Structure 1
Amino acid sequence: MKKIGVLTSGGDSPGMNAAVRAVVRKSIYHNVEVYGIYHGYSGLIEGNIKRLELGSVGDIIHRGGTKLYTARCLEFKTLEGQKKGIEQLKKHGIEGLVIIGGDGSYMGAKKLTEHGFPCIGVPGTIDNDIPGTDFTIGFDTALNTVIDAIDKIRDTATSHERTYVIEVMGRHAGDLALWSGLAGGAETILIPEVDYKLDEIVNRLNRGTERGKKHSIIIVAEGVASGVDIAEEIEKATSLDTRVSVLGHIQRGGSPTAFDRVLASRLGAYAVELLLDGIGGRCVGIQNNKLVNHDILEILDQKHMLDQNMYRLSEELSI
C-alpha cells in the first residue's frame, strides 16, 4: 500500500487532531503517502482531498476539534453517493482509508468495506458508545469538562441552598452522565439505559432534606429527558428551589487530556499498521489497555453496554 487517506466524520471530539497526526506521521515514517479528506464523507464525494506532509499536522496534538473539519452527509447513505466516494479515492490512487468518528462514521466505513474498499474505523466520540473498545477518543476530555462544571455549579448550589439539574450529552448512551455523576458526587443520575421514577428521586431528595442537606446535584443525560422538564417536575413535587444548567456543546470542545492524546496516537498509528499489513474492514479499540481490532461489519450489530455495576455503586454512594 502506497497511499492512505484519512477523514473525520460526525460530531467532533477532542483528540481527533491527535489521531489524524498519528495517521499522517505513521504513514510517512513507512514511506507511504497520506491524503487528508476534508469535511468528512461530503468532502470525499466532492473530491476535497489534499496530500498531507509532516508539517501539515504540526502543532495540532493539543488542539480540540478536527483540522480536517467534519460534516453530516446524507448523500453518502445512498449507493450513488458511495460510488462517487470510491471514484474519488481511485482518482487519487488512495488504497486504504482511516475513518475517525462515531457510529454514523462507522456505518460509512461499513458501506465502503462492503464495496471491497479497505477501511479502518477509529472510535472518536465523546459519548463512549462504540462497542469493542473500553474508551473512545474524546470521552475523557468531555468527562473532565463536565466534572469541572459540576464542581463550579455545586459552589453556587451550596451558597444558595438549591437543587441543580445538570443536563449533559448522551442521546443513547449514559456513560458521560454516569461517570461525571459518580466523579462529581451527584445525588441522582438519569441515563437512557435505566428507567427512572420521579418518586424515587423525590424520596432521595426528601431524605437528604430531613438530615439537614441544603443542596443537591442531579445529572440528566439528554436522551432521558429535558433538564428543564425534570427540574419542573422536581420543584412541583418537593417545592425545593431548583435550577437548570444545560452544558451543551461546551462538552465537545477544549484541549484534549493527556489520556485522549495518548489514546488517539495509539489508535491512529495502529489503524495504519493494519492497512500496511493488508488488513481492512476492521475497527480498532482498546480493551484492558491493549490495542484490539474487530470486524467492522460485526461490531455495528453489537450494542454498547453500560457498566451496570458502576450505576449501582452510584446509587449506593448517593444515599
Structure 2
Amino acid sequence: MKRIGVLTSGGDSPGMNAAIRAVVRKAIYHDIEVYGIYYGYAGLIAGDIKKMELGSVGDIIHRGGTMLYTARCEEFKTLEGQQKGIEQLKKFGIEGLVVIGGDGSFRGAQKLTEHGFPTIGVPGTIDNDIPGTDFTIGFDTALNTVIDAIDKIRDTATSHERTYVIEVMGRHAGDLALWAGLADGAETILIPEAEHDFDDIMYKLKRGQERGKKHSIIIIAEGVGSGIDFAQRLREETNTENRVTVLGHIQRGGSPTGADRVLASRLGAKAVDLLLEGKEGVTVGIQQNKLVYHDINEILANQHTIDLDMYTLSQELSI
C-alpha cells in the first residue's frame, strides 16, 4: 500500500487533530503518501482531497475540532453516493482509508469495505458510545469541560441556595452524565441506561433540606429528556425554585486533554499499522489500556453498555 486517505466525519471531538496527525506522520514514516479528505463523506464525493505533508499537521495536536472539517452527508447513505466516493478514491490512487468519527461515520466505512475498499474506523466522539473500546477520542476532554462547568455552577448554587438542573450531551449514552456526576458529587444523576423514580428524587431533595442542605445538583443526560422540562416538573411538584443550565456544544470544543492526545495518537497510528498488515473493515479501540481491533460489522451490531456499578456507587455516595 503506497497511498492512503484520512477523513473526519459526523460531530467533531477534541483530539481528532491529534489522530489526523498520527495517521499522517505514521504513514509518512513508512514512506506512504497521505491524502486528507475535507468535509467528511461530502468532501469525498466532491473530490475535495489534498495531499498532506509532515508540515500539514504541524502545531495541531493541541487544537480542538478537526483541521479536515466535517459535515453530514445524506447522499453517501445511497449506493450512488458510495460509488461516487469510491471513484474519487480511485482517481487519486488512494488504496486505503482511515475514518475518524462515531457510529454514523463507521456505517460509511462499513459500506466502503462491502464495496471492496479497505477501510479502518477510529472512534472519535465525546459520547463514548462506541462498543469495542473503553474510551473514545474526545470523551475525556468533554468530561473535564462538564466538570469545570459544574464546579462553577455549584459555587452560585451555594450562594443562592438553589437546586440546579444541568443537562449534558451524550446522545443516547449516559457516560458523560455519569462520570461527571460521580466526579462532582451530584445528588442525582439521570441516564438513559437506568430507570429513575421521580418520587425518590423529590424524597432525596427533601431529606437533604431537612438536614440543612442548602443546594443540590441534578445532572440529566440528553438521552433521558429535556433538562428544562424536568426542572419545570420539579418546580410544580416541589414548589421550590431551581435553575437550569444546558451545556450544549461547549462540551465539544476546547484543547484536548493529555489523555485524549495520547489516545488519539495511539489509535491513529494503529489504524495505519492495520492497513499495512492488510486488515480492512475493522475499528480500533483501547481496552484495559491495550490497543485492540474488532470487525466493524460486530461493532455496529452491538450496543454500547455503561458501567452500572458506577451508577450504583453514585447513588450510595449521594445519600
| TM > 0.5 fold call | yes
Matched ranges for 1:235-254 at <5 A:
235-254=235-254
Give the distance between the partners of 1:10 and 1:119, measured in 2 at CA.
17
Give the distance between the partners of 2:183 and 2:251, measured in 1 at CA.
16
Give the distance between the partners of 1:225 and 1:46, measured in 2 at CA.
37
- Which residue of structure 1 aligns with residue 289 of structure 2? 289
Deviation string for 1:188-237 (max 9, x for gaps)? Answer: 00111112221111011011011110000000111111111111111112
- Which residue of structure 2 aligns with residue 79 of structure 1? 79
- Which residue of structure 2 aligns with residue 9 of structure 1? 9
Give the distance between the partners of 1:29 and 1:51, measured in 2 at CA.
15
Structure 2 counterpart SS, 1:285? strand
- Post-superposition, which runs of at least 4 consecutive aligned residues in structure 1 deviate over 2 A? none
- Which residue of structure 2 aligns with residue 197 of structure 1? 197
Opposite residue 252 of structure 1, the aligned amino acid is: R
What's the offset of the Cα at 1:263? Answer: 0.1
What's the offset of the Cα at 1:120? Answer: 0.4
Q: Tell whether 2:16 aligns with 1:36.
A: no
What's the offset of the Cα at 1:121? Answer: 0.2
What's the offset of the Cα at 1:310? Answer: 0.5
Give the distance between the partners of 2:200 and 2:222, measured in 1 at CA.
19
> What RMSD in Å do the two structures reach over aligned CA positions?
0.6
- Which residue of structure 2 aligns with residue 216 of structure 1? 216
Matched ranges for 1:105-144 at <5 A:
105-144=105-144
- Which residue of structure 2 aligns with residue 180 of structure 1? 180
Structure 2 counterpart SS, 1:225? coil
Q: Tell whether 2:93 aligns with 1:93.
A: yes
What's the offset of the Cα at 1:278? Answer: 1.0
Q: Tell whether 2:261 aligns with 1:261.
A: yes
What's the offset of the Cα at 1:240? Answer: 2.1
Comparing 64-73 with 231-240, greater Cα deviation is found at 231-240
Q: Is the 8 A contact 1:171 1:192 kept in 2?
A: no
- Which residue of structure 2 aligns with residue 55 of structure 1? 55
Give the distance between the partners of 2:279 and 2:98, measured in 1 at CA.
12
Give the distance between the partners of 2:240 and 2:137, measured in 1 at CA.
38
Opposite residue 285 of structure 2, the aligned amino acid is: G
Give the distance between the partners of 1:299 and 1:241, measured in 2 at CA.
44
Q: Is the 8 A contact 1:171 1:224 kept in 2?
A: no
Q: Is the 8 A contact 1:39 1:70 kept in 2?
A: yes
Q: Is the 8 A contact 1:174 1:221 kept in 2?
A: yes
Deviation string for 1:277-312 (max 9, x for gaps)? Answer: 111111000000000000011110011001010010
Give the distance between the partners of 2:38 and 2:20, measured in 1 at CA.
12
Q: Tell whether 2:167 aligns with 1:167.
A: yes
Structure 1 counterpart SS, 2:301? coil
Opposite residue 70 of structure 2, the aligned amino acid is: T
Give the distance between the partners of 1:118 and 1:302, measured in 2 at CA.
22
Deviation string for 1:249-287 (max 9, x for gaps)? Answer: 000000000000000000000000000111111100000
- Which residue of structure 1 aligns with residue 18 of structure 2? 18
Opposite residue 102 of structure 2, the aligned amino acid is: G
Opposite residue 292 of structure 1, the aligned amino acid is: V
Give the distance between the partners of 2:297 and 2:85, measured in 1 at CA.
19
Opposite residue 17 of structure 1, the aligned amino acid is: N
Q: Any stretches of 5+ residues in structure 1 without a counterpart?
A: none
Give the distance between the partners of 1:223 and 1:274, measured in 2 at CA.
34
Matched ranges for 1:263-278 at <5 A:
263-278=263-278
Give the distance between the partners of 1:297 and 1:244, measured in 2 at CA.
40
Give the distance between the partners of 2:69 and 2:297, measured in 1 at CA.
26
Opposite residue 138 of structure 2, the aligned amino acid is: G
Q: Any stretches of 5+ residues in structure 2 without a counterpart?
A: none
Opposite residue 212 of structure 1, the aligned amino acid is: G
Q: TM-score, normalised by structure 2?
A: 0.99
Opposite residue 272 of structure 2, the aligned amino acid is: V
Give the distance between the partners of 1:81 and 1:225, measured in 2 at CA.
34
Give the distance between the partners of 1:219 and 1:7, measured in 2 at CA.
34
Give the distance between the partners of 1:268 and 1:54, measured in 2 at CA.
15
Give the distance between the partners of 1:25 and 1:226, measured in 2 at CA.
43
Give the distance between the partners of 1:118 and 1:204, measured in 2 at CA.
53
Give the distance between the partners of 1:60 and 1:272, measured in 2 at CA.
19
Give the distance between the partners of 2:23 and 2:56, measured in 1 at CA.
12
